[in-house]
Amino acid sequence: MRICSVLLVAFLFSVIPVSGQSIDAAERYAIIPYPAQLEPRAGAFILSPTTTIMVPFGQPDLKMLVEAFAHQINQSSGLSIPITNLNKTTPSGNLIQFLPLRDTTLGDEGYRLDITERLVTVEANHPKGFFYAIQTLYQLLPPKVLRKVQIVEGISPLAETSAPHVTSLLPPALSIPACRIQDRPRYVYRGMDLDVSRHFFSVAFVKKYLDLMALHKFNTFHWHLTDDQGWRIEIKKYPRLTQVGSHRRETIVGHYDDHDPQVFDGKPYGGFYTQDEIREVVQYAATKYITVVPEIELPGHAMAALASYPDLGCSPRSLKGETYQVATKWGVFDDVFCPTEKTFTFLQDVLTEVIALFPGKYIHIGGDECPKAVWRKNAYCQQLIKRLHLKNEHGLQSYFIKRIDQFVTSKGRRIIGWDEILEGAGPTTRLSPNATVMSWRGIKGGIEAARQRHDVIMTPSPFCYFDYYQGDPAQEPTAFGGSLPLEKVYSYNPTPTELTPEQATHILGAQGNIWTEYIDSPEQAEYMLWPRAAALAEVVWTPQAQRNYDAFARRIPTHFERLTNLNVNYARTFYDAFPLAKPTADGKVEVTLSTKQPPSIIPEIRYTLDGSIPSGKSPLYEKPIVLEKSTTIRTATFKDGKPLSQLAKIEKDYLVSKATGKSYTLLNAPTGNRPDKNYSLTDGTTGGTGGYEIAGIVTFTNDLNAVIDLGLSQPVERVRIGFLKYTARNVCLPKQVEISVSEDGTTFTPVLTAKTNAAENGKRAFVRLPFDFTSTTARYVRIIARNVGKVPAGLRNPGKAAKLAIDEIEVR
């Protein structure tokens, strides 16, 4: 019997490496980010009333960390685990001991955990290491230990009961699976950004943001405090920055391109942090071993500052005495700081107060997206370019950045700037070696900076911008645009392969960014951040060779339980079931449903065809669905009868008509950027919009002129065409549609000519225009949609060349 048990244990806990991780271990040890080394063991350490935590004498910082750990365990479980610092105490039960050591292989942030059934040993060189070890212990324990609960005497907070009259329950067992871990981070900089300029977030939310960062072992909080839409930090010397610059008169409604003309809510919006609140956040972050990096944008993104102090600008409006306004919509604005001595004095005064508030070594000075139009037209700027022997306005920006760089360096700090700070540098305007570059426009800027021996923080938008869509844009809340699903975040490697080993040492790490143009609440911010930020946490902590997405995906369900207990509104697009359709040879539409999860954890996919929201009793997807008529499919994923998807549905319309799956000839060629792909105008699939993204369309700069072959002669009496109305991008409805029919494909008989409202504005949408005519028999249907030619007056871009965009043609 003992031999069988040993063999069973060996089988259950054997390590089967998958790029450094065991798939079985991934579920039992659901830690994010995954440790550098983890050795599974049989058994578990059980926390109970007889457990003791021991901290050695003379370790006040460590004792503070352990007290917080014990408090969280006790208040969430109903236990009363004591802490002792008597090294020679022999506990009556099992023991958790924290032991400082000196081991250069671990560094300041590394740690060791040795867990057996009787003893948990935690070792580290520095309180930072102990802090990260405690985060790992939290993740080895059941997710409910992270709850913030009110203790009711005699009742365990972890007890599950449906009987409210029960007044005394023993605390359930809390177990830590046995293992040995040796861990340290891959990168020294592991950052997350929060933009509070576009939308303001309370101190309480910022603290919760920091809590979640700490749980995932991030160590740098980039606080984007100023921009065109709001100045959010109190500066004592310049009170108008918050009196004026922290408020805008209204905010654009919906996405930037949703409406033409744009629509505004008419509601004043504002908020800022006092210096006392800034200190409170910085101090709170320090307890989590998180450094706060403030960003003061310059020389661009300055509208809020210019509205407060107009003499800092140099556009014609400032010369005429006209006022600037805090921006009420998103984007990049021509008005920027003027490079006068008055401006530099202002910025140095501001940065002096900022430096006093933030003790970390970095000050972020922006440097991105600075238009040069006003500098180009301004006499002072042109004289300055000549006097300093600069090549052009790009050189003037480099001069501007260098002035700020020199000032910050003189205060014993170092600047971080977006990758544009590399542009325009000449012999006299080169950045100081201390300047760190944050590479956001892909990886090119980071590569160039590292080759110039500047330190680099990688944050390329295709992998690190969490304001992008994470699921189907047509189903998701409004976002900026672009697609960044969870698996793409996880796939990122911050160290470019183009760098030599010496150059690669300048890659400090990576950062996730959340820009809040379309994120106006804490709930929406959390939805966009999690779990993508968890994927990035593993990117910057776990060794590249140890990372494996399938293993990560198997840990996500447990991690979701943690986030639930922390009251986080995380996204569940991880569970979404996506439809993929194709027409059949007999004119139907075949729809396949699938998820992006590893095969081992695919949930149940259920669907409806009647427009209702799927439930656990809806049809179970087992094979492709064949549609014989136009249908809306809604899908959802379930486990044990409970919905897993965020909204319990993904919705998609499919159109079935006599044209479905039929070939056609386009007598006018589509545009090169939106071509026709395999007869996509009759494939039964409708288009979709979201952010700046448009899916499933074919565009034309001239007329649509299509001849559809129905395959055989048959009665027809209606054509319906899906046109995209997107006038903000010069996509207009046609001015006229002409339909004719033929039996031989050569001689066509007109059956309808109809005018349409090409000047229609309003919200962008797909407009499905029906064209009915007297029933006739035909094999071929010819459709001509006349392009309006120029964007009509009254729209955003009157006079510009207009385009047509079509997603689907139906014939009935």
The full DSSP string for 72-87 is HHHHHHS----EE--T
Whole-number pLDDT of residue 690: 86
Do you find a cis peptide bond into 33, omega within 30 degrees of 0? yes
Instruction: Provide the pairing of β-strand 589-594 with 604-608.
Output: unpaired
Rounded Cα gap, residues 759 and 794, in angstroms: 8
CB atoms within 10 A of CB 578: 17
pLDDT at 578 over 90: no
Q: Is there a contact between 806 and 704 (Cβ–Cβ < 8 Å)?
A: yes
In 101-165, DSSP assigns E strands to 111-115, 119-124
CA 482 to chain centre: 10
Rounded Cα gap, residues 53 and 69, in angstroms: 10
Question: What pLDDT band is residue 646 in, cutting at 50, 70 and 90?
Answer: low
The residues, ordered by sequence, that sit 6+ positions from 281 with a Cβ below 8 Å of its Cβ are: 203, 206, 207, 210, 223, 273, 292
Give the tens place of pLDDT for each residue, 96-145: 999 999 999 999 999 999 999 999 999 999 999 999 999 999 999 999 99
Identity of residue 253: V
Write down how long the chain is: 812
Whole-number pLDDT of residue 566: 97
Question: What pLDDT band is residue 692 in, cutting at 50, 70 and 90?
Answer: confident
Rounded Cα gap, residues 453 and 508, in angstroms: 12
Instruction: Provide the pairing of β-strand 804-811 with 247-248.
Output: unpaired
Q: Is there a contact between 111 and 127 (Cβ–Cβ < 8 Å)?
A: no
Whole-number pLDDT of residue 16: 36
The owner of tokens 């499905």 is: 768
- In sequence order, the β-bridge partners of residue 218 are none
Whole-number pLDDT of residue 321: 59
Domain 664-811 grouped into CATH 3.40.50.720: no
Are the folds of 28-153+169-183 and 189-541 the same? no
Question: What pLDDT band is residue 149 in, cutting at 50, 70 and 90?
Answer: low
Rounded Cα gap, residues 634 and 408, in angstroms: 56
Long-range CB pairs of 384-388, under 8 A, 24+ apart, other chains included? 384/339, 388/428
Give the tens place of pLDDT for each residue, 485-509: 999 999 999 999 999 999 999 999 9
The owner of tokens 């150059």 is: 503
Rounded Cα gap, residues 265 and 268, in angstroms: 9
The full DSSP string for 97-115 is EEEE---TTTTTT-EEEEE
The ranges assigned to domains in the chain are 28-153+169-183, 189-541, 573-654, 664-811
Q: Active-site residues: which are they?
A: 369
Identity of residue 113: L
- In sequence order, the β-bridge partners of residue 731 are 726, 803
Domain 573-654 grouped into CATH 1.10.1760: no
Q: Is there a contact between 319 and 374 (Cβ–Cβ < 8 Å)?
A: no
Whole-number pLDDT of residue 160: 40
Domain 189-541: what homologous superfamily?
Glycosidases (3.20.20.80)
Rounded Cα gap, residues 274 and 395, in angstroms: 36
Q: Which numeric CATH code is attached to 28-153+169-183?
A: 3.30.379.10
Choose among 590, 559, 592, 591: nearest CA to 574.
559
pLDDT at 751 over 80: yes
Burial-class residue 457 by CB neighbours within 10 Å (0-12, 13-18, 19+): buried
Rounded Cα gap, residues 295 and 415, in angstroms: 10
Rounded Cα gap, residues 590 and 626, in angstroms: 4
Encoded tokens for 293: 């990096």
The residues, ordered by sequence, that sit 6+ positions from 533 with a Cβ below 8 Å of its Cβ are: 192, 212, 213, 216, 218, 466, 512
Min mean pLDDT across 77-81, 236-240, 270-274 is at 77-81
Q: Is there a contact between 437 and 449 (Cβ–Cβ < 8 Å)?
A: yes
Min mean pLDDT across 46-55, 250-259, 318-327, 796-805 is at 318-327
Whole-number pLDDT of residue 640: 81
DSSP 773: E
Choose among 436, 400, 448: nearest CA to 511.
436
Min mean pLDDT across 192-196, 262-266, 601-605, 677-681 is at 601-605
pLDDT at 735 over 80: yes
Whole-number pLDDT of residue 507: 98
Over the range 501-527, which residues count as b (16 or more CB within 10 Å of their CB) and which as e?
A: eebeebbbbbbbbbbbbbbbebebbbb
Choose among 330, 348, 364, 417: nearest CA to 224.
364
